Amino acid sequence: MNRREALKVVGVTAILAAVGAEAKMKEEHMNRLEMKPKNQAKMEKGELKHSPQVTIKDKDAKGYTLVEITVGQGGIVHPSTPDHWIDFISLTADGKLIGKSTLEPEISRGIASFAVKLDNVKTLTAKAGCNLHGIWSTTVSI
Ligand SMILES: [Fe+2]
């Protein structure tokens, strides 16, 4: 390897290290604590803003029911800014993972839908991750 090739390798290595460091820093700043409203029957504004709302919609001809998850309840919509956003939404049926959507700040906000075969399903649990305020969940019985 000549000097020029060696410099290219060093440059590429430095770029990869910088990209890796940025990704690690971003990951370290994600709040992954499991959060719960203090009083489920009377949620505060911040709790309403983070709790996923699960809406069961129509069943299609193949037997899949559309389940929509919106983050925020009572007309309160969670923001989506570069520093504060819903980064994922997941759905489980009776504890089994149905799907998980990852979301980017600004360009998307906390809404996801899944088409699910609900035959014999007893409970659906939606989880939503806010990068600042942790992971919030809502469970509904069917
Ligand atoms: Fe938040």
Q: Structural domain boundaries of the chain?
A: 1-30, 34-141
* Cα–Cα dist 136/31, whole Å: 11
Cα(11) to centroid of ligand 1, in Å? Answer: 38
CB atoms within 10 A of CB 128: 30
Residue 25 confidence (pLDDT) above 60: no
Confidence band for 81, pLDDT divided at 50, 70 and 90:
very high
Q: What is the mean pLDDT of residues 44-59?
A: 97
CB atoms within 10 A of CB 50: 27
pLDDT for 12 equals 59
Residues in the chain: 142
* Cα–Cα dist 53/49, whole Å: 10
Residue 73 confidence (pLDDT) above 80: yes
Cα(81) to centroid of ligand 1, in Å? Answer: 10
Considering the domain 34-141 in this protein, what is its CATH number? 2.60.40.730
Distance linking the first and last C-alpha atoms of the chain: 66
Confidence band for 29, pLDDT divided at 50, 70 and 90:
confident
Cα(129) to centroid of ligand 1, in Å? Answer: 8
The structure tokens listed for 87 are 């980064």
